Structures are given as structure tokens and as C-alpha cells.
Copies of this chain bind each other. A is one copy, B any other.
């Protein structure tokens, strides 16, 4: 069977290496079909690559070659990826991608095209790198009503938070370390501001709840403003801080979805997910909590997930592997201010009046003040709508909010 790889960057070159290194195992796992890479599409030149004879620059060669049945998209970005993938599916070729941005933005349309053309559009590598999560949700948890999906979906921020927690390193220094180690980009915004995690929770939410969620619908907060004081407050509550992406079914059938730094109890399985590792927790009505843990990024782990999809696509030609999802009903995502949650809030409260107002509110539980500067106060709210929390805060005189962390129950 002939396949093509579009994009010879980190993941794409890992895919090519893995397929060539593991020919025998892959053949065994794909019903003795051999798996040959016929083309590698990249705009760059790789004159020293052992695969230079496979390199092409013209997408139409892949599109028009009837021998190519499966195409791997590891280019990243949206513009070309979307156009190419759409054309390939329309031409009756299965596509495997690691491109979370593409799936989060155009997943519903691409899945429908794949469906109507009897091919597969697979994206196990788009969430959690090498961790099996998409297929377990679509195949192993099908007897469950999934109530919630939550995860540590970004390795860069998790590395930074681990440094802050374990080594008392401040955010700026930890970010620089992450950049030196190659975990963070020169412009780290997609990671530290939560956008990467946001795309991934959109994909997980669509899979779990059957309706497409767009990144712009998800209230997204990153970890840029966290300080070591917050880390200390977390410790005093028996918690660690993690950047958590979460989607939860509400009693009214809508979902609460967000990306936010959150407090995780020390004994939680998510608390010991450190460094660049990822973990995804799925809560089902029959099953309770299951958790999937592993390397959420990196050349070979991600390539491992892509190649598993390629093998599955080869084994299931003309068979539908995933259940797609639909465009969302209007109002499916509850507005941010209607989200029901409990928050940890740290802020400046200089006046006695401020402290008194906080103390007298039964919905607020104040933390012991020994880990805080003298002019600050920290408290945890009871669970309520976000708008109610805002009203309470507005009514406190002379109060300046510094940090907000979501409380969790996993």
C-alpha cells in the first residue's frame, strides 16, 4: 500500500523513520500489507536526506496518484492543511493528521466529507501526542454516558509549573529554562496563554459530547500571571497548580468548558503528572474515572500515534472508524458567566472593611494568612455561577484581584 507524507518537519520525519524502521511489525499489524512511502511533500529541500528521491513540492502529484490511498498531514497550520486535506478526502483518500488546529477548526466538516466519501479522517496524534485517547473514547467507553473530560494537555506549561512547584523557580526563569530545553517556542504564547490546550479540549469535548466546539467559544486563561505565592497557597491547601482544560456536561444538557490554572489535590492522579507529561481524565456514568497518561508531544511519541492511525486506516479501508460529531445546537456551550464553579481567589485587601466583608460572607472560606504578604488575602468560594462570584467580588470594598484558580474534584 502506498502512502504519502505532507510536511517533513519534526513529526513528519518521525513518521517516515518509524515506518521504515518497523516495516516488519507494521506489516504484521496491517494484515501483511506492506506500507510504502511514495511521496514526501515539503517546500524545503533536503539534499542529504536518505529519502530525497521521494521528495516533491507539488501537492497535485499526491492528489492525482490513484495508488496513494492514505495521506499523512504533518504540515501544521491551517491554510494549506485545510485545502489539501479537504481535496484528498473528496478524492477518496484517507487522511491521518496530527494537526489539532485543523481538527478544532474544521473537524466537523472534514469528518462529514470523509464519511460521505467512505474514507477515514483520523487524528489520534492531535491530542495527547502518543497517548491513546481518541480511539479509547470512541471505541472503549461507548457504553458510558461521559459526564466530564479534563486534562493536562500542554507539556510546556506543565514543565514550567513543575519547576515552580518542585524547585521554587519563578515563572520567568522557568519559561527561559523551557525555551533553552526546546520545550517552549521563542514566542511562547500558544502554550503559556492556553491556546494549545484550548484546541485540544475542543476536540475532546466534540468526541465526548457529539457537538463541535470552536476554540473561540472557550474561556481560556494561561499561567503567565501565576507567582510563587500562589504555589505556596496551593501547598497550604494540600494542592498543586496545573493548567487544566475541562469540559463538563451540565444538568441542563449544555456544557461548561474552559482552560484555566486549577488547584488539584495532592492525592489526585493528575497531581503527579509532572514535567512535559500529559494526562487526560474521562468520567463516565458506568465507569467512574479513567485516566490516560504519557508523553503529550515529541517526535517519536507523536509519530507513534500517527503511524498507528495509518495502520488502522489500512486495515479499515472503506470502513468508518470514528463516529463524527455534529455542528453544535445553539447555546450548547454555556456562556462563561453562567459556568458553575468554585474559585480560589488571591488579591489585595488593604482596608479593614475589605477583610471584614470577606470574613462575613458565608460563601467565602479564607486561607490562613501566613503564606501571604501582609496586604493580601486569599479565599475559596462555594460553587456558584461565575457571575455570582463576580458580584460578590464587586461588593468587597478596596479589593484588587490578583490570581484566580479553579477548584477541581478529581
Interface residues, chain A, with chain B CB atoms under 8 Å away: 14, 18-19, 22, 25-26, 28-30, 124, 130-132, 135-136, 139-145, 267-269, 271-274, 284, 286-295, 300-301, 303-308, 310-312, 319, 323
Q: Given A130-B286, A303-B286, A323-B29, A143–B291 Cβ distance below 8 Å?
A: no
A308 near B22: Cβ-Cβ < 8 Å = no
Partner of A130, one of B132, B267, B287, B293: B287
User: Taking the nearest CB of chain B, how far is it from the CB of A316, in angstroms?
Assistant: 8
Given A142-B29, A143-B22, A143-B311, A288 and B301 touching (CB < 8 A)?
A: yes
B295/A287 in contact, CB under 8 A = yes
Dominant secondary structure of chain A at its interface with chain B: mixed
Q: How many copies does the complex hold?
A: 2
Chain B contacts of A301 at CB under 8 A? 286-288
**Least distance between A324 CB and chain B CB atoms (Å):** 12
In the bound complex, do residue B304 and residue A287 qualify as a contact, i.e. CB atoms below 8 Å apart?
A: yes
Q: How far is the CA of A308 from the CA of B308 in the complex (A)?
A: 21
Please indicate which of the listed interface residues A19, A139, A311, A319 has the most CB atoms of chain B within 10 Å of its own CB. Answer: A139
How many angstroms from the CA of A141 to the CA of B18 in the assembled complex? 12
Complex Cα–Cα for A328 and B286 (A): 37
Q: Which residue of B lies closest to A282 (CB)?
A: B294
With A25-B145, A145-B22, A312-B139: A132-B267 Cβ-Cβ less than 8 Å:
no
A272-B272, A274-B267 known; A290 and B131 CB under 8 Å?
A: yes
CB distance from A134 to the nearest CB of B (A): 9
Chain B residues lying within 8 Å of A132, measured Cβ to Cβ, are: 132, 136, 139-141, 290
